[in-house]
């Protein structure tokens, strides 16, 4: 028996051996590193430190509330006298649901930033040895290992100098922290259901949301969360736990798609029911008839409108005439109209299918998104210009002629190919106008998105269906003749105007440099096409010249770079407002002008309410005009780090913030978070 026990003990020890390297100090499973934003912090000011954690593949670390299992990270400091460390910051986590147990984790690199307060009165050059013992839990999907590391960094009291690379690194770390929502949420428990209402502007687009609770024992972590939106409110519903009874405060982080996270605190209160489910994608099978009809009807109207858009109209009206020309009997006209419609709708569905396939492939292939890329706009400019020059008669397109051969076959086949051609030729220049509609289609569930594309095609073909089915309309169409050539030349004018509009958008997106490059490419293309046209007149081929010119122009167009965002972003809200920057603020104050600066974000309901009710008002605008007040707007929607630093320098961790800089005063007056028009207008006289 003794021997057996001894063998078993030995086996036990042997079983432990493979686990030994895992438990070693500062294991390689998650590498921990202590870094500082400034190696020479100023006395009397905070300096940012961060524990940068890098998990090996397959390992994860834990959020402050680890979920159903796991533990939070803790730190024991050894600091010089007077130096104090703030609490560890936690970035927005991810969910890991394993065998019905939810864990809130980081599966990729993460960091715990914190503020270290350096006491005032320390002489520059004083060494500050910072020592930290960090304890955390690192796990794979199967095993967990408690890990610890003794980390140190030696700072020297100095001028607070921050290197650009350190600034960028810490800005990236802070960008993943949740930002204070700035509005109080409400919660209500009924039976075993728990509902949280979060104030969030209806204008903010949200496709995914999850509430990470910090208060333990109130909601069931592993239960699914249903998210609905109703006006300026987002409601999360899930299953409650026993702790839900009698809880007075529920803290947590609301994570939205795109890595946005907002820390909030909820109090008991009424949570209204109703609202639209957040994600119709989940319920693609049970898509409501209402959504389908709205999408289809909207697209139908859009397609109809496309017929009179300047770039589409010229092409389509010519095709219409060719269609009308061929119509002898009423039956043939109806057949041609149907075939034409089939061609148009077919092409639209095909393009839609390609876009959907790209979306399914994981590419964020939103049309609207692509239109934000100045290179796409530059290419579009070239296409539209080429169509305009063609209409103006500079050259003839052999491809169109061969398409015309197909289209000119007569009968239903010819009409079908005419429809295909019309839709193809029309599509590139629908971009600028339909970009938003198509962008919406990309976000819709598949059947609704395809309905949008079909509706677009049907709307585009609708006038010709009418011509085919209503003989009175057909008889009123003019006879073909030399006037068509004149009309074609005239119709090149709206096309050139379209090109002008695109050039303007390009200028907004890419600045004067980008627009010049785009226009240079356009000039190159125009010269090439001009030469091609001359060759055509002489009876020679078009491609030897047109092709290289088009390619060269394309390469040039792809060189267009987006302008820095500041130049392009126009401030919203009150008239005459400019985007905020500390340099602009200093310049305006140096001019001796009073400045009203406010800081807002699209997700901040308090900000939006204040802007609507107290800032964007006629009386305020008039008072500001009289007082020659400059208005600066800081938009923190994307969490601009420079704005974040300015906010924290004014004691705020988030928006809104309203600052009034009277002439000749050193420090600004910080206005309350709830404003009235009289309060704001009264600043000028007060």
Partner 1 sequence: MTSSSWIGAGIAAVAIAAVAVPVAAQQRTGAFARDFRLNDAQGQVVTLSQYRGRPVVLEWTNADCPFVRKHYESGNMQRTQAEAIRGGAVWLTINSGAPGKQGHVDGAGARAVMTRWNSAPTAYLLDPRGIVGRGYDARTTPHLYVIDGTGRLVYQGGIDDRPTANQADIQGARNHVLAALEEVRAGRPVSVPEARPYGCTVKYADS
What distance in Å separates the CA atoms of residue 448 and residue 437, rounded to the nearest whole number? 12
Smallest separation (angstroms) from partner 1 to the CB of 424: 50
Q: Cβ of residue 156: shortest distance to partner 1, in angstroms?
A: 33
Name the minimum Å distance from CB 71 to partner 1. 5
In 3D, which of 581, 526, 517 has the Cα closest to residue 549?
526
- Give 90-104 as a DSSP string: ----EEEEETTEEEE
- Least distance in Å: CB of 209 to partner 1? 25
* Sign of the Cα pseudo-torsion (281, 286, 290, 293, in order): positive
Half-sphere exposure for 505 (CA within 13 Å, toward CB)? 20
How near is the Cβ of 93 to partner 1 at its closest, in Å?
A: 16
Residue (of 257, 260, 251, 196) closest to 228 by Cα position = 196
Cβ at position 69, least distance to partner 1 in Å: 4
Contact between 496 and 535 under an 8 Å Cβ cutoff? The reply is: no
Task: Specify the DSSP class assigned to residue 242.
Answer: G
- Nearer to partner 1 (CB atom), residue 220 or residue 336: 220
Residue closer to partner 1 by CB (options 251, 616) is 251
Measured CA to CA, the distance from residue 229 to residue 154 in angstroms comes to 50
What is the spatial distance between Cα 251 and Cα 260, in angstroms, rounded to a whole number?
Answer: 17
Nearer to partner 1, 192 or 282 (CB): 192
Residue 185 CB, shortest distance to partner 1, in Å, is 23
Contacts of 598 (CB under 8 A, 6+ apart): 607, 611, 615, 631, 632, 633, 634, 656, 657, 658, 659
Q: Based on CB atoms, which residue is closest to partner 1, 146 or 410?
A: 146
Least separation in angstroms between residue 623's CB and partner 1 is: 55
Which of 216, 566 has the CB closer to partner 1? 216
Q: Which is nearer to partner 1, 18 or 651 (CB)?
A: 18
Judge whether 92 and 159 are in contact, CB under 8 Å: no
Chain contacts with partner 1 (rule: CB under 8 A): 5, 8-9, 11-12, 19, 23, 68-72, 74, 98-101, 103, 135, 137, 139, 142-146, 216-217, 220, 241-243
Cβ distance 204 to 603 under 8 Å? yes
CA distances from 28 to 22, 23, 110, 149 (A): 8, 10, 15, 11
Q: Which is nearer to partner 1, 144 or 484 (by Cβ)?
A: 144
Comparison of 11 and 363: residue with beta carbon closer to partner 1:
11
């Amino acid at each position: 028996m003794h021997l057996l026990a001894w063998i078993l003990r030995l086996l036990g020890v042997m079983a432990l051996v493979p686990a030994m390297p895992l438990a070693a100090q500062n294991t390689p499973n998650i590498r921990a590193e202590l870094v500082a934003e400034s190696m020479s912090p100023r006395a009397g000011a905070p300096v940012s430190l961060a524990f940068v954690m890098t998990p090996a593949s397959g390992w994860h670390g834990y959020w402050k509330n680890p979920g159903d299992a796991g533990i939070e990270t803790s730190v024991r400091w050894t600091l010089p006298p007077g130096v104090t460390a703030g609490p560890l910051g936690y970035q927005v986590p991810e969910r890991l649901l394993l065998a019905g147990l939810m864990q809130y984790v980081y599966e990729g690199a993460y960091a715990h930033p914190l503020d270290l307060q350096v006491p005032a009165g320390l002489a520059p050059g004083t060494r500050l040895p910072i020592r930290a013992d960090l304890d955390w839990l690192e796990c794979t999907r199967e095993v967990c290992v408690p890990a610890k590391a003794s980390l140190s960094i030696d700072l020297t009291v100095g001028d607070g100098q921050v290197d650009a690379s350190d600034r960028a690194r810490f800005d990236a770390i802070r960008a993943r922290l949740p930002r204070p929502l700035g509005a109080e949420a409400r919660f209500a428990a009924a039976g075993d259901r728990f509902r949280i209402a979060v104030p969030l502007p209806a204008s903010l687009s949200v496709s995914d949301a999850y509430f990470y609770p910090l208060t333990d024992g109130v909601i069931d972590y592993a239960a699914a969360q249903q998210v609905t939106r109703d006006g300026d409110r987002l409601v999360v519903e899930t299953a409650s736990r026993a702790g839900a009874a009698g809880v007075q405060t529920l803290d947590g982080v609301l994570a939205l798609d795109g890595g946005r996270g907002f820390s909030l605190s909820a109090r008991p209160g009424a949570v209204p029911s109703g609202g639209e489910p957040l994600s119709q994608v989940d319920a693609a099978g049970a898509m409501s008839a209402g959504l389908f009809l709205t999408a289809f009807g909207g697209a139908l109207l859009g397609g109809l409108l496309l017929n009179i858009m300047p770039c589409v109209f010229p092409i389509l009206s010519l095709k219409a005439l060719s269609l009308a020309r061929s119509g002898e009997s009423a039956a043939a006209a109806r057949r041609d109209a149907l075939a034409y419609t089939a061609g148009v709708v077919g092409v639209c569905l095909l393009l839609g299918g390609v876009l959907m396939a790209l979306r399914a492939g994981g590419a964020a292939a939103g049309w609207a998104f692509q239109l934000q890329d100045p290179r796409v706009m530059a290419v579009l400019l070239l296409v539209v210009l080429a169509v305009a020059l063609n209409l103006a008669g500079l050259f003839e397109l052999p491809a169109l002629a061969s398409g015309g051969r197909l289209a000119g076959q007569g009968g239903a086949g010819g009409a079908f190919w005419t429809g295909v051609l019309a839709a193809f030729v029309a599509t590139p220049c629908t971009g600028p106008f339909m970009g938003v509609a198509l962008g919406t289609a990309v976000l819709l569930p598949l059947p609704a998105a395809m309905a949008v594309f079909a509706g677009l095609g049907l709307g585009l073909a609708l006038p010709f269906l009418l011509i085919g089915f209503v003989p009175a309309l057909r008889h009123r169409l003019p006879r073909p003749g030399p006037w068509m050539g004149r009309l074609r030349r005239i119709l090149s004018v709206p096309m050139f105007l379209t090109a002008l509009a695109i050039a303007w958008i390009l200028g907004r997106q890419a600045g004067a440099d980008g627009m010049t490059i785009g226009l240079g490419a356009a000039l190159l293309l125009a010269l090439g096409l001009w030469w091609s046209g001359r060759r055509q007149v002489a009876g020679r081929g078009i491609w030897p010249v047109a092709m290289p010119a088009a390619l060269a122009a394309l390469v040039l167009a792809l060189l267009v770079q987006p302008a820095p965002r500041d130049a392009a972003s126009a401030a919203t809200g009150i008239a005459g407002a400019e985007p905020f920057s500390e340099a602009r603020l200093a310049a305006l104050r140096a001019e001796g002008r009073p400045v009203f600066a406010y800081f807002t974000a699209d997700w901040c309901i308090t900000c939006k309410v204040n802007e609507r009710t107290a800032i964007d008002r006629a009386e305020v605008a008039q008072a500001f005009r009289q007082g020659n007040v400059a208005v600066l707007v800081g938009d923190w929607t994307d969490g601009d780090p420079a704005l974040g630093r300015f906010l924290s320098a004014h004691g705020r961790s988030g928006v809104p913030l309203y600052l009034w800089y009277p002439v000749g005063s050193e420090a600004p007056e910080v206005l309350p978070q709830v404003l009235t028009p009289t309060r704001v207008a009264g600043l000028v006289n007060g």
